[in-house]
Structure 1
Amino acid sequence: MNEPHHHSSLDIAVGGEQGMDLPARGQAGKRARIAVIVVGVLLAAGAARTIVSNVMNAHHLADVTKQNAQQYVSVVLPKAAGADGRIVLPGTLRGYVEAPIYSRASGYVLKWYADIGAHVQQGQLLAEIDTPEIDQELAQAQAQRDQSASTLSLAKTSFERAQQLRQRDAVSQQELDDRQGAYNQDVANLAAADANVRRLQQTKSFQRIVAPITGVITQRNVDIGDLVNSGNGGAGHALFAIAQSDPLRLYLDVPQSDAPHVALGQHVSVTQQEMPGVTFDGTVTHTSQAIDVATRTLQVEITLPNHDGKLLPGAYVQAALQTDSHGRLTVPGNALLFRAEGPRLAVVDADGKIRLKPVEIAQDLGQTLEIGRGIEPTDRVVLNPSDSIADGDSVVVVAPHAGGASGASGASGTSGANDSAKRSTT
């Protein structure tokens, strides 16, 4: 009777506790749902922000890539060639006659009499060579000559006696012919001995080194006691070198395009950098009358008076020839493109497109090129074009230069333009 009563009280207690937890559980579930919603919203916001950021970065990267892909070039306008119609060419002065002197006798240098810079006359003694071997050979040759002369004298006497005996029929004709043959042979032997003596005498005379022309000693390559060989065998250099410095010769290589304007007797203005303001007058005396196949140039010889000796053989000079260069244009040398089809110049048209124009180079002036035909005065020529530049490429022109800008300024302008473009995209 008591146990059922206790069970009922416990059930009532438990049921009371469960009734009290229901509202708390409802509040906890509601808070959990709110937390889940907040987290979802935050995640969605983060994802949206990431997507927007990626899209913006993609657009920015595309803009930067497009901007970096653009080619920035510096251009220059062609400059008219010299209005005076002159062509200036470099050259090297040479002596009118230049003579390297070698020894014709082998021996040792006994003494020399002229040093570099000395003015010598034709036939003047320059050096003496001791030739003991030639002296002995000459003595031997003279002894052999005397021997041949003695043999000839005996043969002549024998032949004359045989002729007398033959008249009396005391000797046969055969014996007379034998003696005549011996006599003729001895005559030839004496002639050969005389020739050998004269040869050695002439060789011995070469122990005296004399000046073949009147001029200035420009080189002395021997000293007392030096061993010299006959000719230039084994020596490797001349004993002396003499140059005739008045007048001087100047050789120029005139481009084929200007060759028709060169004539004999034409006056040429010659200048030297070390003597500013001084001009020397030369005359065209010879031309090769042919165009060199390798260089496409005409060789011209100019004779230049040098009475006062101001100009020195071997000096580097520039000569101005009067030609017809009107209408030609010049561009910097660093604007030229070498392609398999021939030389090209990259020109920017009005639409900002590259046009590769074939050109004809009339003259290479070093830092500049004189163009015969292929471009116009209004063409914008690209400086320092890249090897990859192609016909039709779009470019951006920056820092245009005045006509005839130098290659250095063009290069710096292009570099500065590219650097500023890179800075603007970063």
Structure 2
Amino acid sequence: MNYETRISADKAESLHGTLEAPLIEEERSRRRWPWFVLAGLALAIAAFFIFGRGGGETTPAGDQADQLPVVTVVAPGNATIEGTINATGTLGARREVPVGVVGEGGRVISVPVDRGDWVRQGQALVAIDRSVQNQQASGAAAQVEVARADADLAQSNLERALKLVDRGFVSTADVDRLTATRDAANARVRVAEATLRELRARNDRLSVVAPTSGLILTRNVERGQTVGAGSQPLFTIAQGGEMELLARLGEEDLASVSVGTPVTVRPVGLDKTYSGQIWQIDPVIDAQTRQGIARVALSYAPGLRPGGFASAVIQSGTVVAPMLPESAIMSDAQGNYVYIIDKDDKVVRRGIETGLVTDRGIAVVDGLSGQERVVLRAGGFLNPGDRVKPKLTKAGN
């Protein structure tokens, strides 16, 4: 029985192996078929993009246009462009008037004004002790009265003598003598009066007065100080309070401005600007710096302090021309040029001549009409003849 049992087990194992092999192979086939389907689908998609959706035709012209580089262009037109020149300089009084002692001077007893005060012409700035001079003037006034009394007496004596001439009591010689005495007395009156006027004029000159109306910039006198003719100026006055900027310009810039040119001035440390105009251009160029001075007249303002530093923007004229940003203009050994896009959307080189330079761009005074499509940026990556896809933008963008 054992023998039969072993034979039956061997047959069963052999039969199991025979049935299992086909089942395993069938299972493997079921697992592989999705991969074949995915591979076929991928090949179909690739063929679709390679040969196009048009039934195997080549790439359309529209797809070729999509592959062209896009460049930004602008039609600048023509604009009125104001040129500017930037300069720096020092502020100062346009007309600086020094004030000193005119008379003999003396001890200062009063200084009623100070730096920064406005004064009018003839206003007293310094009072000087004049006690001695006043006594001298009083004595001179008394001498005038004495001389007038003598002149009146001489006139009376002459008139009495003339009444007695016809009676024979007074001779003609006496009349002549009395006439001479009267004339001499009148002359002494005039001398005394002239002396009095001189003393009073000297006394008036003891007070230092403003020779002009304006703003006091400096003061160099104090109460109790002794001053005299020939001493340093006691005050400095800006006539009318007017200021100026001494703007330094190079030779080329100086030649492009003229008297009356508008200027905007901004002192250092202030955000406020002041308007003025050039009132004088120095005729001399500094041999060392090759610069000249343009004097800009400015009305008085608290922010304009003499000796301060300021910047200026000078209007150097206007032109009507196309204006382009700096990015659109290139240069080489042949000069300045731009790239324009023609009617076939091809790049064309165009030589230009530039003019005024402003914060908004550069004027093109020759080479463009303003109607061309000019490449704004990336001109260095293009070459004449390249075909591009232009994208028009507004001027100034």
Higher helix share: 1
TM normalised by structure 1 equals: 0.46
TM-score normalised by the chain length of structure 2: 0.49
